A and B are shown apart, each in its own frame.
Chain A
């Protein structure tokens, strides 16, 4: 069975600074996807970034980038130039590729990020 672990329940960063959120996972699969979702106080789940395990290049989306270490099963999220609107709960999630009839996402327990003015 796959598991996703986020070891930082809460983090804080000053506006305009850089912060890194950690995520590790456990799987015996070789083909899979990893995601970071953001959940602001509105509770909407918003996709931040996606990484395909077969790609060596780390995914980037504007100020958001990941450090994907497949051998170490690590998938950290770096937020550059933090903004007040980045304040949210961040969830790391795993999904098997070609997982049959399910697109089941396996979520970590989340990291609450507070961006301070």
Chain B
């Protein structure tokens, strides 16, 4: 049981490039989400999914796309990278929605640098 895994661990991009951050979980969790962590600001929710085929926007969705074709995977796509997207990105998952099995487990993070 690997829990929540993320790849890559570190990535450098040039402004305007696109890339996909991968997230996978092997716990059969319904709920998955993406957060970004910036200095002095804690973690902020980008997008989330309550199950395969269902996604929605969080607090800071601009510049990012997501899809959820399977229960296990929840990739985050940067369409045209900007320096403001330099951050550490965390994927998280939980078994169900708030009020049920809602404790969230985090992946190890992806550090992204946009030049």
- Chain A residues with a Cβ under 8 A of chain B: 4, 31, 33, 35, 37, 42-47, 50, 91, 95-105, 107-110
Contacts and interface: CB of A to CB of B under 8 A. Distances in A.
Contacts of B98: 33, 95-100, 102-103
Given A43-B108, A95-B98, A99-B98, 4 more contacts: A99-B99, A101-B97, A103-B94, A103-B97
A103 B88 contact: no
A104 B42 contact: no
B43 interface: yes
Point out which of A45, A47, A91, A109 has the most chain B C-beta atoms below 10 A from its C-beta. Answer: A45
Nearest to B109: A43
Contacts of A46: 106
Contact of B45 (A35, A105, A110): A105
A97 B108 contact: no
A98 B98 CA distance: 5
Contact of A103 (B33, B41, B106): B33
Interface residues of B, number: 29
Contacts, number: 74
Contacts of A98: 98-99
Given A98-B98, A103-B98, A104-B58, A44 B106 contact: yes
B103 interface: yes
Nearest to A9: B40
A109 B40 contact: yes
B74 interface: no
